[in-house]
Chains A and B, each alone.
Chain A
């Protein structure tokens, strides 16, 4: 349940940003899951439910999760490519799940085979917006 640690970072970060914006209560937080990290939505949501007990400002917050497709740009040949179609074993997918940068170890540009590519979109977990009451 490594998702728990990331869920904690999301709720803590959302509450901190709400505080900076002088929001007393969080109503909604947009959470983006990068396709590359393949976060388990069910486990993540369960963790958020448990964690919200520790964060009163997020007690009634709705966490709206969306998945951002991963996109890569090769630094060697400038080819742009998606995650779909890239070969990886179950273990390799698990390692990328823990540390998305392991993509550079296990994946390569389908055109020139270089591991030197940029993860342009869809890497990991981020917050896209927060809404709340002042």
Chain B
């Protein structure tokens, strides 16, 4: 007999979290990390107790979006995420020294379960999860352990992204996972097909990455705030 004890405490670790928002999308490079990180900053700025968990282990980049450097969780009956710009932040980069994390699926699953079991989030209004692209071990684990997680799907104005998105939404419906809405990133301004809101392509966004105050002043952040409101967040 071998029992993995860690899943038994995950619900306990998340019991103080009112809403878990999984920012997801089925293609890489469509702006999930910038969306998730900026959403967390926006929610914190509005006074909500907010957490951000970067679950894209292979391509963790929320720390770059935030400009979070020199942080490490505090050991206190587990790990307490460091607070950056009002956001409790957890990422695999705290443990990887910014080196590559070459994990196979089962390893990703183990690492996620480990971090979910030992991270003490405390009381939060929102925990934003930056999901890796697609439905894989990370996504399935989150649906398994973070019961009640709500999906905010990100897409881009491309027939490829939209087609893949349709399939993913059908799967979420089948899994009974609530979808708050679809935001179309990098929009050219036309009315987005199948999305609840468009976030216009913002040429000034890149220069604001790593600077939360500047990031919150971008057109991207303004559009995202409107999109979040439409999706019922804040």
Any chain A CB within 8 A of the CB of B103?
yes
Can you name the residue of chain B whose Cβ is closest to the Cβ of A95?
B95
Count of chain A residues with Cβ under 8 Å from any Cβ of B?
37
Asked if A127 contacts B110 (CB within 8 A), the reply is no
Asked if A98 contacts B6 (CB within 8 A), the reply is no
Any chain B CB within 8 A of the CB of A8?
yes
B94 to chain A, nearest CB (A): 8
**A91 contact set on B, CB distance < 8 A:** 97
Asked if A5 contacts B101 (CB within 8 A), the reply is no
Q: Chain B residues in contact with chain A, CB under 8 A?
A: 1-9, 12-13, 75-79, 92, 95-97, 99-104, 107-108, 110-111, 114-115, 117-118, 120
**A125 contact set on B, CB distance < 8 A:** 5-6
**A123 contact set on B, CB distance < 8 A:** 110
B126 to chain A, nearest CB (A): 22
Secondary structure at the A interface, as helix, strand, loop or mixed, is helix
Q: Give bound CA distance, A102 to B13, whole Å.
A: 22
Q: Give bound CA distance, A109 to B101, whole Å.
A: 15
| Given A9-B9, A104-B103, also A128-B2 (CB < 8 A) | yes
Asked if A17 contacts B77 (CB within 8 A), the reply is no
Q: Give bound CA distance, A42 to B130, whole Å.
A: 36
Asked if A5 contacts B118 (CB within 8 A), the reply is yes
Any chain B CB within 8 A of the CB of A10?
yes
Asked if B95 contacts A10 (CB within 8 A), the reply is no
Asked if A5 contacts B95 (CB within 8 A), the reply is no
Asked if B114 contacts A2 (CB within 8 A), the reply is no
| Given A126-B4, A127-B2, A128-B1, also A101-B110 (CB < 8 A) | yes
Can you name the residue of chain B whose Cβ is closest to the Cβ of A92?
B97
Can you name the residue of chain B whose Cβ is closest to the Cβ of A102?
B95
Kindly identify which residue among A13, A100, A104, A129 contacts B5, using a CB–CB cutoff of 8 Å.
A13
**A99 contact set on B, CB distance < 8 A:** 92, 95, 111, 114-115
Asked if B95 contacts A13 (CB within 8 A), the reply is no
Kindly identify which residue among A13, A16, A101, A128 contacts B114, using a CB–CB cutoff of 8 Å.
A101
Asked if B107 contacts A104 (CB within 8 A), the reply is yes
Asked if B2 contacts A5 (CB within 8 A), the reply is no
**B76 contact set on A, CB distance < 8 A:** 1
Q: Give bound CA distance, A104 to B97, whole Å.
A: 13
**A104 contact set on B, CB distance < 8 A:** 101-103, 107
Asked if A10 contacts B5 (CB within 8 A), the reply is yes
Asked if A105 contacts B101 (CB within 8 A), the reply is yes
Kindly identify which residue among B5, B97, B103 contacts A101, using a CB–CB cutoff of 8 Å.
B103
